[in-house]
Structures are given as C-alpha cells and as structure tokens.
Amino acid sequence: MRILNADQMREADRATIHDVGIPSIVLMENAGRQVVSAMESLFDDLAERSVAVIAGRGNNGGDGFVVARTLHQRGIETSVFLVGRVAEVEGDARINLDVLGRLGVTVVEVADEGAWELHFSEIGEHDLLVDALFGTGLRGPLTGLHGTVVADLNGSGIPIVSIDLPSGLSADTPDLLGDCVDASVTVTLGAPKLPLVLPPAEEKAGEVVIADIGIPLGVIEQLDGPRTELITKERLRPLIPPRSPDSHKGDFGRVLIVAGSAGKTGAAALAAQGALRSGAGLVTIACPRSCQPVVAALGLEYMTEPLEETPSGTVHFAAAEVVLGLEADVVAVGPGLGRGEGVVTFVRELLEKGETSLVLDADGLNAFGDDPSALVGREGRDVIVTPHPGEMARLMGCSVEDVQANRLGMAVDLARRHRLYVVLKGYRTLIATPTGTVFVNPTGSPGMATGGTGDVLTGMLAAWLAQLLDAEAACRVAVYLHGSAGELADADTGEVSMTAGDLAEHIGDAVLELTARRRVVNRQPEG
C-alpha cells in the first residue's frame, strides 16, 4: 500500500476530480462518512456519547462538517466549533457548513483566543472530540490560536479522533514540527502518510484507520515522486501459494549459510533455523572446522561443511575458494563469523568473485566497515544487506544518532549508490531497493531486542530469496514474517522472556497467519 506525501496526495485529489471525474464534494462526503463509520466500529457506545467537532476553515474542516451532519442525522448529540470566521469558509466546505445551519446543528464561531477561552469549557463537556483543523497541507509548526487550541485539546483528557492527520503533523516528514494533536484514533484518507507509520510522529496518531474515499488505486499507483510503501498482508499473500502435492526439496532452493566462529556457533544454528522454518529445501552451514561438531549437534535438519580456520577459530581467507565451489542458490554470510583481517579478505572474495545471490549480515557487513565503497552489487546478482543502526553508521561514515534521525534517507542513499537491497533493522524495519523504492514493515515486538533475532532474519531472507528468486519480494516476505513471528512469540512468552529461538519456533505460525491457511487434521469417525 503506497504511502503518500503532501504533494502526492494533492495530485491524487486533482487527478480523481479532473481526470476521473469524481466531484470534489463527493470525495468530501465519502471522507466524512468513512470517519463516522470508523468511529462506530471503534466506539461501541458512540450513540450514547456527545461529540464536539473542532474544525478549520479548509477542506479538513469540510470533512468535519460532514462528520457532524452524519452524526446528527443518526441521533448523536453533536456540536461544531469553527476555529476561524464563517465568512472565511469557501467552496465545498462552505456548502457543508451551510447545510449544518439548515439542519439546526450548533456551530460556534471561534475567531480569536478570547472566543476560544470563552467556549473551551463547552467543549470539555463532550465525551468525544473530532480534530478537523488541518489535513495534509500543513508546512510549519502551529502558532497563535491554533497552538492554543491543540494544547487545550490535548490537556482535556477527552479521546480525540483526527481526520487524515493529527493537526500539527506534516505529511512530508515523520518528524515533529512542534505541538500537535495527540490522537486516540486517526482516520487517514485515501492512503497512509509518512507521519502515521514512522516514529516519532506515529506515536501521536493512535490507532490508524485507512479510509477509502473513492480515489482509484490506479491514480495512486501512477503518482510521480518518492515511492514508499507499507507492507500489507494482502500484497504478500499471493507470493506464498500452496505447494504442489508432488513437490520435492529441490523445488525450494539450496541455502548455504557461512557463519560461526569459536564461541559464536549459536548464530550459525539460528540462521539455519530461520532458513528451514521459512521453507528452504536444503540448508548447509559452512563454518570453521573446529566449530563443525558443535554446529552439527545444534540441529538435525541441516548439513555442515568444514572450512579452513585461523588459530583463533575464525574462518581462514583461503576457505573462500571452497565456499565458491559449493552448490547453492543463495549464500548468507556473517552471523557469528568474527572479525580480523582474514575474515575481511574472505568476505570480500565472496562478494567480488561469487555469482550466487548474497545476503550479508553482522560480521559480513563489518568486513566493509573501513571501506564501504567496496560493498557494491552488480547487474544479474542480488545482494541484500541487513545492517542494524550501528552497522549502518559505519557504512555511511556517520553516527548512530545521524542514522536514527534519517533512517529512510540513509537506507535509500545506500541502496541506490551501492546497488543493494538494504534491510535497515529496528523499530519499523525499512527495506530500500536499488531503484529507490522503500517498504515500511508494520510488524514486530519489543521482545525482539535480544541477541540472535537478526541471525534468524538472515536465514529467512536467504530462504525466501531461494524460493521466490526475487530480492524485493523476498525482503518483504521475510521481514514481515520475522516481525509477525516476534509478535506471536511475545504473546506466548512475554516480551521480557522472549528469545531468538522462540521467534524461530513461531515462524510457521506466522506463515499460517499470513496465508490464512490452517492445518486440517483428518479424523476417523468414532464408532
């Protein structure tokens, strides 16, 4: 599902009205009614509540006027407080404001701070507030009367439903411009916007409902400008069809995981579990020779391959030729591999000479920390990298704070300049492609902040790439399922006690939930 900025939303409205021919007042009517529909779904006692709509002079206010009319016609006590003068309301918003007057809905004009101070006590007598002050057109922080209004609404303690965006947020950035409405629910119109899906602004949105107001999907898909998408079940589900009854292990890819070193064998086993639980047909772990017995003992379902090693128990650079000769559809490199000059040479050899699709994580990425320019993909060979913020900072030559302040921009920059698929891990994991498209993952749990969960993701990425043969699709599926498995593990064990192994154990449940398929047990009739 595409995420739009302010200019894109404006163009979507224009194209729908002028090119498709749906009148603007119809879009406004649809918006207001969809907001009421969301309110009815989320507030069981809506019919018993009294509602105050706090409206601005523009189209967002017009949406609010439709909300007020619809609630009034359903017998719900509703008042409207217009922040501005009636004479300043124009166009479709004015038409809907005039209708309210003819229906006898109370409309209070709040033209200045004195009027707001006079009438705010009346607003406080309501059970639910609708924020219809500003939509996607806001460019700067709220000041003056609008700043006072937002501060007082937040301080009222009354639940707030925002239309399109909490007033005070900008559709162009997830950053906070200043004070904004702290909404309980945001009903966003047509498509999600950046501040509703990325921190820190998303914390102000409450529960987000995406409302279809009649803008055709084709209009949204054809918009120019940045392409940012929210990963959804509906888009992923077709990528995982049921397997044919005559399937065999060779149909689902050979994954080679190059991982582990002395004291870090668990990382290799977790990556293998991620690959196996994600459906890879065959999984092999290549690890330093002294680690092989330990790695083999940690799992029954994968194979192992011993590699020449250094005295410290890390892989020797000469083992690169062996790895390049092993049969695999995807090679994942890095979990627990350790550091050192030999490891750096080994990893760079695999990148430079290999032809197989590659997933680089952890120490596989650290091998390029002192020379990020060497980490480059090439035509005909997909390379996926999975940095956490610290690893991303080393690759970009900046601080972790710089990365966290501009996660989206950093991911796009690395992906485009280095021709990579970048999976920037963390809250709301981002996937950036070499073309500049970005996907935002909505799944995950705080319990995933524990050692080994990234190793599981590495194996999952390799497995889905081996099956789908499409790096973009593999990243979307693996990242979504990784977060979903974390949520399911959290539900079972709690976020404090959850381990990477718990997450791996729930990958199958996550797949079943995504595909909406459940195991059918054939039972013989009793008697």
What's the pLDDT at 516? 86
Residue whose C-alpha is closest to residue 472's, from 173, 217, 227, 198: 227
What's the pLDDT at 139? 85
In a 13 Å sphere around the CA of 429, the CA atoms on its Cβ side amount to 30
Whether 483 and 444 have beta carbons less than 8 Å apart is answered as yes
Q: Give the number of other Cβ atoms within 10 Å of residue 74's Cβ.
A: 12
Tell me the whole-structure pTM to 2 decimals.
0.93
Q: Tell me which H or E stretch contains 78.
A: strand 77-83
Structural domains of the chain ordered from first start = 2-226 (3.40.50.10260), 249-515 (3.40.1190.20)
* C-alpha distances out from residue 494 to 270, 503, 513, Å: 20, 12, 19
Read off the amino acid at residue 204: K
What's the pLDDT at 249? 94
What's the pLDDT at 523? 42
Residue whose C-alpha is closest to residue 8's, from 224, 301, 282, 332: 224
Chunk the chain into consecutive blocks of 10 residues (it has 527) and report each block's average pLDDT, rounded to whole numbers: 96 98 98 98 96 97 98 97 97 98 95 95 96 92 96 97 98 95 98 96 97 97 96 95 93 97 97 98 98 97 97 96 97 95 95 96 95 93 97 96 96 97 97 97 97 98 97 98 98 97 97 78 43
Largest CA distance in the chain: 87
* C-alpha distances out from residue 88 to 34, 46, 105, Å: 26, 31, 19
Tokens describing residue 516: 């909406």
Q: Where do the H-state alpha helices sit in 368-470? A: 389-396, 400-405, 407-418, 453-468
Whether 199 and 179 have beta carbons less than 8 Å apart is answered as no
Residue whose C-alpha is closest to residue 231's, from 484, 511, 444, 441: 441
* C-alpha distances out from residue 19 to 12, 24, 340, 351, Å: 10, 12, 61, 49
For CA atoms 488, 491, 496, 498, the dihedral sign is: negative
Q: What is the bridge-based pairing of β-strands 430-432 and 421-424?
A: antiparallel
Q: What is the bridge-based pairing of β-strands 2-3 and 228-230?
A: antiparallel
> CA-to-CA distance for 183 and 181, rounded, in angstroms?
6
